[in-house]
Structure formats: structure tokens, C-alpha cells
Amino acid sequence: MLKINLNAPLLWLILPLSLVLAPHALELPIWITLSWLIFSLASLRSAQSKRSWPSWLKMIIALAGVTGVLLQYGTIIGPSGGVALLVFLSGAKLLEARTPRDRLGLLFVGCFLLVAYFLNSQSMPMAAYMILAAIGLVAGMIGNLQAKPDLRASLGLASRLLLQALPLALLLFLLFPRLQGPLWGLPQQTSGQTGLSDRMSPGDLSQLTLSNEIAFRVEFSGATANSHPDPSALYWRGPVLWDFDGRTWQTRYAVPPNPVQGEARGQSVSYNVTLEPHRQRWLFLLGLPRQLPPQIPQLESSLGPDLQWLTKAPINQRLRYSVEADLDYRLDPNGLGDARRARTLALPEGNPLARELADKWRKEAKTERAIVDQALAHFRREAFFYTLNPPFLGENSIDDFLIKSRRGFCEHYASAFVFLMRAAGIPARVVTGYQGGELNPLGDYWIVRQRDAHAWAEVWLPGFGWTRIDPTAAVAPNRVELGLNAALPEGERREGLMTLNADWLMPMRLTWDLLNNQWNQWVLGYNQDRQRQFLARLNPFLATWQGMAWGLAAAGGVILLLMAALVIPRLARVKTDAASRLYGRFCQRLQRLGLVRGVSEGPTDFAARAIMQRPDLAEPIQRITQLYLALRYGNAGGEAGFRREATQLDELKHRVGAFSPARKTKIRAC
């Protein structure tokens, strides 16, 4: 049976490592976590029985771990495979962690794994947990160096050490010149985050609306910040879908990179977007930019003629960008060109009933705008329903939706409307993105969540250009004005959304989101631009490289001087250990005999010189010196070492107390 000793050196290693590896266990394969637990129990068992594991078995275990990681990840390097292998090998190393040096090395590996998890999560709760894990690691290092470690004392000393290091760490964070990019150089390994796709089929966006994850946050500046735009005007533009195959909307080939042909018609707005990583290439726009959006330092991006803002690489890290744009504008008011017109009128075979309805409107209406109005009136007049649970649509999906089911979500209405417009000879396309958002009055910014995902239509009208039409608003105006939950039938309202919007919970939820936003802006998003903005407020000189260097040197020097002023007097008052006090008393008694120890003379040399001058005291001098050296430098720790140290200290105390030789009449000079 395994009996656990709370003062066992291995336990002071396993417990801190367990704190560090607990979050990793959520990301690692179960076999690695189970292997680590088995290794820890086996190491405690072998330490109790004082048996060592065969070298050949440990070699097989290590090779098995490398093979398993290779099969699981295809590599043993990088954020995923490298961390997984390190976790496995840290457990295997427990089987031979017998010396303080081995245990200390594993604790340093724990420090690396502590930092490595921030590549997965950089949230405030995880940062707080990692501080506790760091205290545990430092406490383990302290306990590893003690013969009889004390849990309370070790944790207290570890906490004080980290608090003493905090001012210097804060100074380095604020003043050390930062490279361009986020706080962490590697992309975040976001596993749960979802986002819009470059394809839209019935049911796609309804899956996004089940998620409360944040897509991005927006801060308006200038006059708009004081008045706050109407949520019904907040259409955050993302992927633009040009091509339809009968069921799925997508963009099969890229739109030619022509300049944007836009005409602003109103007052501009300025806003800052903090975009969460979503592993896609979309950057979201509100309105027509006054000028080409500035390049984001980490990513190359381009704005297409359809106002689709794309980056060259997927967005795997949090981004912040600023835009000045007009909400009232005309896009391509002067014409489309033959190629784009043909593309925005193309339709696949099928759906004859929808084509017949569109042909009827075209014959009855006198203008394109009248056809649009007839289609919207049709959605309002007929028994269409807004639901997240529409029935399955057959091969002629548009006919089935318009004639049979008449139940759907925003992508059903946008898809059917664009089909009808194209069938009636009006250029049209689907636009996806997010609509609306939630104002956080505590921080004066908007929160746009995945549940705000939306699809709408754009039609091209002579003299007006591309015009946004939201057919969903014709069926469920509450979706645009009040949000998703207000538009759903009572039986379909998600319990999570209802709980999230409860009046009693809202202040706490908004406060927590404000704290998260500040954490993202000033800690995770403290990049080169943020650093210079902050330092320029303190002193413009600090915003330069020279100013940062001088400020870092001056402030660092002050902190070190203050720490020295606090620590050095305490060191001077620290009492020596029992062995040193007893040896000092022994040297004082030899001094009475005329044998004075030199300032740079070691105990062994002093004992040899004293024996030469007083050979009659050779035995006590030699034994006292041996005991002192053993107590100061010879014990290896552990329970046996602690018992041996206590025995030696008792003997030294007895011998020094009994050492009182008489002074000779004549003593040779030293």
C-alpha cells in the first residue's frame, strides 16, 4: 500500500507540476494525461520502496512517448507536438528524479510549461490561476533545498519573492521596447472560436446564433460616440457571395481587384474594432471607408470593389484596427460592366415556381425599385415565419421555401430574395456579416457576438448603385431592431440567451466584459503603438527608443537601490546558523590560547596550524573541525540526512562546551 509522506521530496515536485499541467490536460490526448499520473504514482512507490527502475525500461518508455506524439500530431516540435512531448517526458523523468538537482531541473521545466499554456489561453482567470501555479513552483524549489520543508513557510517565501519581483516585471512590461505584434509571438491556438464562412447554405448561420462567443468589440469616437448609432443601422460587412449552385452561395473565383467606386453622402463616423481570432480572412467594415483602410502591421490586407476586406493569412490572433467611414453612401452608382452584370444575374437550372413569380413581378412593375418593393410586400403579406428550426428543403430549395415551408432563418430569406431579383433581371448578391450588437454603457463600446451573425441582400439599381435590402426585416423586424432573441418564437428562445439577458445578471455581465476588454486592450494588446501612445501621455521623450532606454535604466536603478536598502540591513541582522555559532565560540577559546584565525584562513588550514602549535589538543581540534565542515557542507538532505545532522550538532555542542584547555606558559608565535 502506498503511504504518502507530506515531507517527501518527490511530493514537493509532483504537486507544483500538477498545478501547472492541469490546464494542459484539457488540451492534451487522454493517454498523455493518464501516463503522467501513472508515472507520478510509480515514482512515489519506488521512492518508498527505495527501488530504482531499470534503465532499459525507462528508455522504452521514452521511445514510446516520442512515437505516440508523432502518431498523434505528426511532429514533435511546435506548440502542440512539442508541448505534448515535454509533458510526457516530464512524467517519465519522475521515475529517476532522486537527487535535488533532478527535481530542480523538472521544476524549471514546469516554468516553461507554465508559460507555454498562454499560447492556448490568455484570459484573466487563466492568468490568475497561473500566478498561483507559479507560487507553487517557487515553493517547490524552496522546499527542494530544505532538509525538512515547511509548507506554510515555503509558500510565504515564494509569495514574497514574486511580490518583490513584481515592480521590476511591471517596469519591463511598460518600458521595454516592443516588437511589432501581439504580446505573444505565436498565433493563439483557438479551438472553440467559430466565425463566418465563405459559403452559405440553409442552416449555416443558425448554428452561429447558438454561440454567445464574442466576434468583436467596437468603440465609436468623435460625435458618433456621444449619440450612439441606431442598432438597426449597424450592418458589419463580411464575406460577399456572388455565385449560386442551387443550394449554396459562395464566391467561386475572386473578384477583379478594381478600385472601389463609392460616393459618400453623409457625415462620417470613426470607430475602432477589436476583432477576436476566428481563423478566417475577413475583416469587418461598417459603411464606406473615407480612404483605403490602413494596413494592419501583422497582416497584409486589401479592399475589393465589393467592399470585402480580406487579409492574406487567416486571423489567428486578436487584432485592432481603426476606420473612418460613411454610413450613407452609394457603391458603383455609374454602372457594373458587362462581366459583373452577367455574374450577378447568373442562376442555375431549377426552381420554376420562383422564376414564374419573378417574371410576373417584372411584367407588372414599371421600375426595378418597384420589383424590390413587391418582393418585400410578398414576404410581409404571406404567412412567412422566422425560425431556427425550418424543415428540410428539397432539390428545388428556393421553391420549397417560398411555396411550401415558408419557415426559415436570415440565410433562407436572403437566398430566396437574391434568387427572385436575379430571375427578375435585377443584379443581386448575398452579403454576410453581423447585424446590431449590444452597447456596454460602462465602457461606452459595442459588443458584437456570434449570435449576431446575419445575411442580407444587395441589389443594383440605376442611379443608386448597390443598395442594401434586408428581407428578414420584412418578416421579423424585431431581429434588426431588438436582436435575435426578440425575433424568435417564444418556444424557440434559447435558455442561455434568456439567462444571459436577465435584468439581475446584466450589470455583472457588462462589468465582467469591461474588465475583459481592458485586459485585451492594455495587457494582451499592449503592442508597439499602444506603448508609444501610453508613454507619450507621460512624456513625449519616453515614446522614443532613447527615452525608453533611459527610462528603463533610471527606473530600474531606483528599484534596485530601494530593494538593496531594504534587504542589506536585514541581511546584516540575520543570525548565523547553530553550527557557525558553535564554531565561532570554539575559535574564541583558541584565541585565548594565542591561536588567532586569519581573516582568509579556512577551517581546515586553521586546524592544521593549531595542531602544529598545540599537538596535545589535536584530537578535539580535529574532531570539532570535522563536525563543523560536515554540518555546513556535507549533508545531502532527506530524512536520513536530517537525523544525521541533528546527531552531529548535538556532538558539536557537547565538544565545544567541554573544550576549555589551559594556556601554556610559552607558546610559539603564530
Q: Which residues are catalytic?
A: 410, 454, 470
Q: Cα angle vertex 266, ends 265, 269, to 5°?
A: 130
Sign of the four-CA dihedral 25, 124, 138, 577: negative
The contacts of residue 410 (CB under 8 Å, 6+ apart) are 205, 454, 455, 456, 472, 479
Helix (H/G/I), strand (E/B), else coil: 471: helix
Report the distance separating Cα 414 and Cα 419, nearest Å.
9
The C-alpha atoms of residue 536 and residue 531 are separated, in whole angstroms, by 8
Dihedral sign for Cα atoms in the order 231, 232, 234, 238: positive
Q: Give the burial class of 388: count Cβ atoms within 10 A of its Cβ; 0-12 exposed, 13-18 middle, 19 or more buried.
A: buried
CA dihedral 50, 55, 56, 60 (to 10 degrees): 90
DSSP class of 32: H
Chain centre to alpha carbon of residue 286: 27
d(CA 390, CA 474): 18
In one-letter notation, the amino acid at residue 178 is: R
Angstrom distances, CA of residue 591 to CA of 231, 598, 668: 91, 11, 14
Q: In this structure, how many other beta carbons lie within 10 angstroms of the beta carbon of residue 22?
A: 13
